[in-house]
Amino acid sequence: MSYKFEKLEVWQLSIEYVDLIYTLAEKLPRNEEYNLKSQIIRAATSISLNIAEGSTGQTDPEQARFLGMAIRSLIETVACQHLIDRRNYLSDKTDLREAYRKSQELARQLQAFRKSLVSSHQVGENQPDYLIENDEI
């Protein structure tokens, strides 16, 4: 038996993103252990957890609400990536660029999934699209 969320492509992508964020976080300096490192890992993990929690026995509007929280957590990881870049914590920016690229792909999928659920329902406030237009990192 498998759970509904385990079959979702967006959830599988979020797990890959978490793995990438863990790899990135491991390269941060020790003085960021309880700050940026912890924050970016918790935010990335929250993406997958919100997708999973929202998928189980929820109405479409409720599932869309959880997807909105997943999007917010994703944006938090992107903000952390900017801080990592700004502080020059990584001499090799390959993982940072890959995480940024994956964040864009995940944002598109989360927003498309959310929009498909709210097309006939209105959920709370209107959520802006958080698609990133350029590759800044």
Give residue 56's pLDDT. 86
Are the C-beta atoms of 132 and 110 separated by less than 8 Å?
Answer: no
> Quick one: 135 exposed, middle or buried, by C-beta within 10 A (0-12, 13-18, 19+)?
exposed
Give residue 2's pLDDT. 87
Return the CATH superfamily for domain 7-118: 23S rRNA-intervening sequence (1.20.1440.60)
Tokens standing for residue 56 = 């189980």
Crossing angle (nearest 10°) for helices 36-55 and 94-118: 30
Confidence (pTM): 0.86
Give residue 49's pLDDT. 98
Domain ranges across the chain = 7-118
Are the C-beta atoms of 20 and 74 separated by less than 8 Å?
Answer: no
Cα–Cα distance measured from residue 125 to residue 92, given in angstroms and rounded to the nearest whole number: 40
pLDDT 10s digit of each residue in the chain, 137 long? 789 999 999 999 999 999 999 999 999 999 999 999 999 999 999 999 999 999 987 789 999 999 999 999 999 999 999 999 999 999 999 999 999 999 999 999 999 999 999 875 554 555 555 555 566 66
